[in-house]
Structure 1
Amino acid sequence: MALIVIGMALLLLNLLGIEPVASWPWWMLVAPFGGALLWWQWSDMSGRTRRLQEDRFVQRRKARRQRAMDAMGLGQRATDERRVKRSSR
């Protein structure tokens, strides 16, 4: 994502005519976009994208399970609250 932002900034600086970017050759302006393309290609081929997607899925599943347990009164928070109530008697 950072490469896309850099590329957009370079294009904007070129269009506004701000030096030294205005005098750079066109290939220097589109190089960050090519780098982003290569990064995404590598990320997909190496399995990194899939791993990150699986990690997000597992985290959402754990959070959903914890919310369900808390709603039934069986979660960690409920256990902690019972301990506090017993010790304060």
Structure 2
Amino acid sequence: MMLLKYLEIGFVAELSWWWVLAPFALAVAWWAWADASGYTKRKAMEKMDLKKKNRLEKQRESLGIKPRRR
């Protein structure tokens, strides 16, 4: 959109620069919130835990150990 606005192509040329640059401001706000709230760290830990679980299950399967039932 920014390139279309700069080159004055299509309906974007008629939009205000505020509408064109608003997604960038929203992205910065999202990243600031995600870092401040711990969302990013929590998601990274969940991903690592899933990898660990899958690795352990694969090792148990290769050893012929049946998976635990809960």
Q: Which among 4, 17, 24 is matched to residue 9 of structure 2?
A: 17
Q: Relative contact order (alpha carbons < 8 A, sep ≥ 6): 1 or 2 greater?
A: 1
Taking structure 2 as the reference length, the TM-score comes to 0.83
Partner residue, 1:54: 45
Higher Cα Rg: structure 1 or 2?
Answer: 1
Tell me how far 1:13 sits from its aligned partner. 4.0
Gaps of 5+ in 1: 1-9, 77-89
Q: Deviations over 1:36-61 (max 9, x none)?
A: 01001100000011110110010000
Equivalent pairs counted in the alignment come to 66
Off by >3 Å, runs of 4+ in structure 1: none
List alignment gaps of at least 5 residues for structure 2: none
Deviation at 1:11, TM superposition (A): 2.4
Structure showing the higher helix proportion among its residues: 1
Relative to the length of structure 1, the TM-score reads 0.67
